[in-house]
A and B are shown apart, each in its own frame.
Chain A
Amino acid sequence: MPSQKPIVQLHHLSKSYTETDSKRVILDDVSVHFYEGEFAVLLGPSGSGKSTMLNLMSGIDAPDSGRVSVNDTDITTLNEHARTIFRRNHIGIIFQSFNLIPTLTVLENVTLPYELQGNSRKQAQAKATEVLGKVGLAGREKSYPDRLSGGQQQRVAIARAIVHQPDLIVADEPTGNLDHHTGETILQLLLDMTRNAGKTLIMATHSMDIVPLADRVFRIEDGKLIEDTERLRVGAEIKAKLEKKMHAELVQSMAQLETIGGSL
């Protein structure tokens, strides 16, 4: 269960992009806290600003105005170099398209973040091997990414995102490129890996399946971040019914979830 210690704090965050001659507002005065050990889900259709928000939280992108604090560090005041170092030490990122480095082996892909923190190659390899074992890829250390299935590649990406023990893990559509079954397995793995370690996980997705597992659910509409308690409530019901194996009711609740607030 999440603690009350905020890990990520967004204060009046705004971001817009200029396109030819018009300005498109992506995030408009967004303020929110995410807590230690929490699993938050960001819902919204493509282009609604989910990825932008994750990028701002991980220091990949800079806001037009407002502040982003991660673990009590205001990363918006850091320069580019300091932000990168901060990201290296405190944040893990998982992408929809896995984004593994094709010229490195599975083991090397996972060792890299740990090595970047200044650990020796030997230490990094030991740690990476351990994590790869946890994500079920023991024995595939020497393979190159293109030899793995999509699900396996995303497992490597998860291993890479958690190997250096970050406080915050952001995941941008981690199951978007996977089939339904594999996606479920990967989600479960991701949750196990983060929950067990007490890490905060913030995930952008447009899959409803994830909602029952989340602590909090948000959606972005016209640049505003809205906490979606209704979806969370139905999600909780589904979770309960799932646990009680009430299948008929489950189907009903799922249908209800799909219709809340129009289609996503």
Chain B
Amino acid sequence: MSPTLFRIMLQYIRRRSIQSVLLIIGVMIGVAMMVAIDIANNSASKAFELSTESITGKTTHEITGGPNGLDEGLYTQIRTEVGWQNSAPIVTDYVVALELDKQPMRLFGIDPFAEPPFRNYINTENAIDSGTDEPDMLALGRFFIQPNTILIGEDLAKQYDIRPNDTLTLQYGDKTHTVTVIGLLRTSDSLARQALQGMVIADISTAQELLGMPGKLSRIDLIIDPDTSEGRTVITDIKAILPPGASLMTARARADAVGQLTDAFELNLTALSLLALVVGMFLVYNTVMFSVVQRRPVIGILRSIGVTRRQIFALVISEALLLSSIGALLGLGLGIILGRATVEVVTQSINDVFFTVTVQSLHVSAFTLIKGFVVGVGAALFAAFLPAYEATNTPPISASRRSDLEQRTLKIIPYITVAGIVMALAGTGLLRFQALLINFAGIFSIIIGLALLTALVVLWSVPLLPPVTGKLGGLVGRMAPRSILRNFSRTSVAIAALMLAVSVIVGVTIMVGSFRITVEDWLNQTLRADVFISPPNGTASQTDTPISRDLITRVEEVEGISRVVYTRQTEVAEVGDDRPVALSAIMSDMAEGRRHFVHQVDLSQAEIYDRVVNGNALLMTEPFANSRGIQWRDDLTITLLTEQGPVEFAVLGIYQDYTTSQGHVTIGLETYRRLWNDENITAIGAYVEPGADIDAVLVRLQNALSGSQLLIQSNRELRQSAMEVFDRTFAITGALNLLATVVAFIGILSALMALQLERRREIGIMRSNGLTQKQMLRLTLWETGIMGTVAGIMAMPVGLALAMALIKVINLRSFGWSMEIFIRWEFFAQAFAVAILAALLAGLYPAWRIGRIQPVEAIRSE
């Protein structure tokens, strides 16, 4: 580009600085949201990966048992009978460290002498700070011999001011234990350092005692090269001595199975984050189109002195490139800042719903930043393409008039409408695919397609308004709709952008609202007991923590309690699937016949539960069936790996459940005990005698169980805390909605500012013909008010369509749960209010500026 042409571009940007700033802000917010969500997702994934990788170390295979773990003898057998020395025993679970802000920590029980080939936490020299001059070996010896001693990372100790020989209180289920910190681990390996932030290392026997697993191991880690004949022999030999219920799998497979749980959750967040970018594209389109329209005379001159169409195109695109690059760069910075806040929200949700993960550091990858920049600038250029092309059509004579553009815009309405219909239909087609990514593409296609229809709706509906608005607003009321139509090329785009943002609010509000109502109803229906007793629920990983069986009697003995039920929740393995199966073992139908079955065998619910509680039959939750692609049929079975070997269970039904997105299976408690030899329980439900004062019973229960640290919640409290988790999970959705609205607001502001600049002469003429400043202000507000109303009304059906797609497709495919759509008037009213408010607010500043225009000056400025 010639330097003078380049200067023309820069001069324009400088002269229209507000427009330029709005474009920059629009791109900035879009990019920032995308980057923030990306950073949050990546940080959580990376933290999970790091902790998995660090804990896995060089392990290639692992042997895991059922809920009871593995017998210690198996480890000895592997070392002696199979003769495989590259093996290490592990006893591990999550405990709560009271002195460390009650955060969940992984208690990692190891044999320090078997460890070195596997992990490098404690195998380097001078790596243990025991507070004395003793050599590492001595400290390690004490750690090995003295019961209830632990090692923690140096960074963690520093954070909480813990020194060697200090004590910590660890809680597991209803038990608390005091342990002594024998030394602080120093390591230069950054992976290990990060992992140590969330870990407490103990000797095997200490861990066994703390976790109530005497003589048991959680797993045995192995290093085997399956590509050698020796490796293959060892695998065969080990498989031969595996007890029933134990399985050998690659470490990778297990980590992948767990890591995949959050894939859909993260994809949903990413899709939401792209939303602001899409709304931002309308903003870019409007701004660039405005700059083109305004510079038509200059472009005409340039064309006449020999500037080619290509050069004009390059001029307009370069301008968009320059501004959007600034916006994208600022967006990257803002995204990193927002990422810090977002990562906490995302991690909280993952901990609530999926598994425990502690994010120590923000993971800002170059890829995230490059992607954010490229997608942001790319979207802006895509949006600028049409205006840039439009600019090249400027004839090289003197200025063509605005009305020419309006005429041309009207001519392309049929094409835009057809394109909108095609996009919406194609999008609907994409929803049928069984792939979430394609489904999201479908949703974007639908909403953009429907946004394209805005033009036609405006063209049809606004001409009907003058009689009504005239009655309400007099002269200016009559003028406003006409003014919208006269400047159709820009008003329709602003309305479309606002409509898009508001329809997303409607859609997401209906989706979250319906989901909330569904979950509330479901909790009301299925939680029948009056009091629930469980380990303090820190994270989703801790719901399996066993509690003492003697608690049952202690609860039963409390005055006012009529009946006690209890369950065992644990993870077992399915034959032929690496993913762990969450299992809930029940004494009876805790929901008392109120569950909603999606499919069931031809029996009554009472009969079904009778067979589940007493035989080898089970029920599946809907997310469980959906996440594994299980299709219902009457003779459906599933084979679980029990301590008695593989056992086939008849599936008697699939019911709606919203506990987790991976779902679970329900079997009878007696069956569970028989097949897995596990007497543990994880939660207790108690019924209060009719007429008893529930608060008084709660107080008595708390006294009876004092010192147990258990969570004792009334039915109402449990429902409340469940809803709190629900709201927490969707908090980020609200924030993203808000940001999309902000971008739409900027869009409409920018469109109005542009109009105001373009219409200076018209405004001057109106003013010189006697329209007062106040009338001008009212005219502008009437215009924006109508624009907001049209956007708000149109957003309702579009939002409803979006809600249906989210509920019936995205939620079902992402999380496996089906639900009804609940439509409440307040969902719409709220969004409608946002539309009008955003439009009116955006109108205030331009209205003020228009009011200040002096008629003489305005006419002269042409």
Q: Does A199 contact B (CB under 8 A)?
A: no
The distance from the CB of B301 to the nearest CB of chain A, in whole angstroms, is 5
Residues of chain A in range 217-236 having any CB-CB distance to chain B below 8 Å: none
| B772 CB-CB contact with A under 8 Å | no
Give Cα distance in the complex from A89 to B396, angstroms.
Answer: 15
* CB-contact partner of A108 in B7, B303, B307, B396, under 8 A: B7
Give the size of the chain B interface in residues (CB under 8 angstroms): 26
Q: Is there contact, CB below 8 Å, between B304 and A93?
A: yes
A:70-98 near B, CB below 8 Å: 80-81, 84-85, 87-89, 91, 93, 95, 97
A111 to B2, CA, bound (A): 10
Q: Known A60-B396, A95-B398, A99-B398; judge A104-B4 contact (CB<8 A).
A: yes
CB-nearest residue of chain B to A96: B398
User: Could you tell me the distance in whole angstroms from the C-beta of A111 to the nearest C-beta in chain B?
Assistant: 6
| Contact in complex: A84, B8 (CB < 8 Å) | no
User: When the two chains form the complex, which single residue of B3, B301, B395 contacts A121, counting CB atoms closer than 8 Å?
Assistant: B3
Residues in B with CB closer than 8 Å to A116 are 2, 305-307
In B305-325, the 8 Å CB interface with A consists of 305-310
Contact of B2 among A61, A115, A160 (CB under 8 A): A115
Q: Does B11 contact A (CB under 8 A)?
A: yes
Question: Which of B3, B8, B308, B398 is in CB contact (< 8 Å) with A101?
Answer: B8
Q: How far is the CA of A85 from the CA of B302 in the complex (A)?
A: 12
Could you mark each residue 113-136 of chain A with 1 if its beta carbon is under 8 Å from any beta carbon of chain B, else 0?
A: 101100001000000000000000
Q: How far is the CA of A165 from the CA of B494 in the complex (A)?
A: 47
Does B833 sit within 8 A of A, measured CB to CB? no
Residues of B close to A91: CB separation below 8 A: 306
| Beta-carbon contact of B304 and A103 below 8 Å | no
Q: Does B774 belong to the interface (CB within 8 Å)?
A: no
A84 contacts which chain B residues (CB < 8 A)?
A: 303, 306-309, 396
A99 and B395 within 8 A (CB): no
* Distance in angstroms between the alpha carbons of A164 and B305 in the assembled complex: 10
Rounded to whole Å, the gap between the CB of A248 and the closest CB of chain B is 42
User: A112 contacts which of B4, B309, B310 (Cβ < 8 Å)?
Assistant: B4
Chain A residues whose C-beta falls within 8 Å of the C-beta of B3 in the assembled complex: 115, 121
**A24 vs B395: C-alpha distance when bound (angstroms):** 20
The yes or no answer to B473 lying at the interface (CB within 8 A) is no
Q: Are A60 and B7 in contact (CB under 8 A)?
A: no
Report the Cα distance A93→B307, complex, angstroms.
13
Q: Which A residues are CB-close (under 8 A) to B8? A: 101, 103-104
What residues of A have a CB within 8 angstroms of the CB of B398 in the complex?
Answer: 95, 97, 99
Interface size on A, residues (CB 8 A): 29
Bound together, the chains give a CA A89 to CA B305 distance in angstroms of 9
Residues of chain B lying within 8 A (CB to CB) of residue A89: 306
User: Could you say which residues of chain A place their CB within 8 Å of the CB of B12?
Assistant: 103
* A112 and B2 within 8 A (CB): yes
Given A60-B395, A108-B7, A112-B2, A93-B15 contact (CB < 8 Å): no
Could you tell me if A101 and B306 are in contact, using CB atoms closer than 8 angstroms?
no
Provide the bound-state CA to CA distance between A146 and B530, in Å. 84
Asked whether B4 lies within 8 Å of A108 as measured between CB atoms, the reply is yes
Report yes or no: B304 in contact with A101, Cβ–Cβ below 8 A. no
Residues in B with CB closer than 8 Å to A31 are none
Give the complex CA separation of A60 and B397 in angstroms.
Answer: 7
Does A102 count as interface, using CB distance less than 8 angstroms?
yes
The answer to whether the Cβ of B422 comes within 8 Å of any Cβ in the partner chain is no
Q: Which residue of B lies closest to A54 (CB)?
A: B397
Beyond A101-B301, A103-B8, A115-B4, whether A81 also contacts B396 by CB under 8 A is no
Query: Closest CB-CB distance, A77 to chain B, in whole Å?
Result: 18
Interface residue A69 (Cβ < 8 Å from any Cβ of B): no
A113 to B310 Cα, complex, angstroms: 16
A16 within 8 Å of B (CB atoms): no
Interchain CA distance A95-B305 in the complex, whole Å = 11
Give chain B nearest CB distance to A187 CB in angstroms.
21
B309 near A80 with CB under 8 A, answer yes
Q: Are the C-beta atoms of B297 and A81 separated by less than 8 Å?
A: no
Is B298 an interface residue, CB under 8 A from the partner? yes
Q: Is residue A253 within 8 Å, beta carbon to beta carbon, of the partner chain?
A: no
Instruction: Find chain A residues with CB under 8 A from B308 CB.
Output: 81, 84-85, 88
A103→B397 contact, CB < 8 A: no
**Closest CB of chain B to A203's CB: distance in Å?**
16
A80 CB to nearest chain B CB (Å): 6
Given that A99-B398, A104-B8, A115-B2 are contacting pairs, would A88 and B306 also be in contact in the complex, using a CB cutoff of 8 Å?
Answer: yes
A116–B11 alpha-carbon span in the complex (Å):
19
Q: Contact at B305–A112, with CB atoms within 8 Å? A: yes
Query: Nearest residue in A to B15 (C-beta to C-beta)?
Result: A103
Measured CA separation A87–B301 after assembly (Å) = 13
Cα distance A160–B397 when bound, in Å?
16
Best-buried of B11, B12, B397 by chain A (most CB within 10 Å): B397
How long is the Cα–Cα vector from A93 to B398 in the complex, in angstroms? 12
Give the contacting residue for A160; candidates B15, B297, B305, B309; CB below 8 A: B305
Task: Say whether, besides A61-B397, A84-B309, A99 and B4 are in contact (CB < 8 Å).
Answer: no
CA gap between A100 and B310 in the complex, in Å? 21
CA distance in complex: A104, B8 (Å): 7
Residues of chain A contacted by B302 (CB below 8 angstroms): 101, 112
Which of A80, A99, A104, A112 is B11 in contact with, Cβ under 8 Å?
Answer: A104
Chain A: minimal CB distance from B393 (Å): 10
CB distance from A202 to the nearest CB of B (A): 15
Nearest CB of A to B399, in Å? 9
Q: Please, how many angstroms separate the alpha-carbon atoms of A102 and B295 in the complex?
A: 11
Closest to A95 in B: B398
Taking the nearest CB of chain A, how far is it from the CB of B330, in angstroms? 26
Asked, given contacts A60-B397, A81-B309, A88-B306, whether A111 binds B4 with beta carbons under 8 Å apart, the answer is yes
Contact B397–A55 (Cβ < 8 Å) = yes
Asked if A113 and B305 make an inter-chain contact with CB atoms under 8 angstroms apart, the answer reads yes
Give the distance in Å from the alpha carbon of A91 to the alpha carbon of B310 in the complex.
19
Cβ A81 vs Cβ B301 within 8 A: no
Whether the pair A103, B309 counts as a contact (CB closer than 8 A) is no
Question: What is the CA–CA distance of A113 and B2 in the complex, to the nearest angstrom?
Answer: 10
Inter-chain CA distance A81–B308, complex, in Å, is 6
Q: Given the complex of chains A and B, what is the CA–CA distance between A99 and B305 in angstroms? A: 11
CA distance A38 to B3 in the complex (A): 35
Interface pair A113/B304, CB less than 8 Å apart: no
With CB as the reference atom, state the residue of chain B lying closest to A116: B306
C-alpha spacing A99/B307, complex, angstroms: 15
Q: A108's closest neighbor in chain B, by CB?
A: B4
Closest Cβ of chain B to A19, distance in Å, is 13
* Min CB–CB distance B7 → chain A (angstroms): 7
Closest chain B residue, CB of each to CB of A81: B308
Name B304's contact: one of A60, A100, A104, A111 (CB within 8 Å).
A60
User: Would you list which residues of chain B between 719 and 776 have a CB under 8 Å from chain A?
Assistant: none
Task: State which of A61, A87, A108, A121 has its C-beta within 8 Å of the C-beta of B306.
Answer: A87
A101 touches B310 (CB 8 A): no
Q: Which of A60, A95, A108, A116 has the most CB of B within 10 A?
A: A116
Judging by beta carbons under 8 Å apart, are A85 and B306 in contact? yes
B297 partner residues in chain A, CB cutoff 8 A: 99
**A238 vs B7: C-alpha distance when bound (angstroms):** 48
Q: How far is the CB of B308 from chain A (nearest CB, A)?
A: 5
A interface residues, Cβ below 8 angstroms from B: 55, 58, 60-61, 80-81, 84-85, 87-89, 91, 93, 95, 97, 99-104, 108, 111-113, 115-116, 121, 160
**What are 25 sample pairs from A and B whose C-beta atoms fall under 8 A apart?**
A60-B303, A61-B397, A80-B309, A81-B308, A81-B309, A84-B303, A84-B306, A85-B306, A87-B304, A87-B396, A88-B305, A95-B304, A99-B297, A99-B301, A99-B304, A101-B8, A101-B302, A103-B11, A103-B12, A108-B7, A111-B4, A112-B302, A113-B305, A113-B306, A116-B305
Other A-B contacts than A95-B304, A101-B298, 18 sampled, CB-CB below 8 A, are A55-B397, A60-B395, A61-B397, A81-B309, A84-B303, A84-B306, A87-B304, A88-B305, A88-B307, A93-B304, A103-B7, A103-B15, A104-B4, A115-B2, A116-B2, A121-B2, A121-B3, A121-B4
Write the residues of chain B forming the contact surface with A, with a CB cutoff of 8 angstroms. 2-5, 7-8, 11-12, 15, 297-298, 300-310, 395-398
Q: What 8 pairs across the A-B complex have the smallest Cβ distances?
A: A88-B306, A103-B11, A115-B2, A84-B308, A99-B301, A60-B396, A112-B4, A87-B306
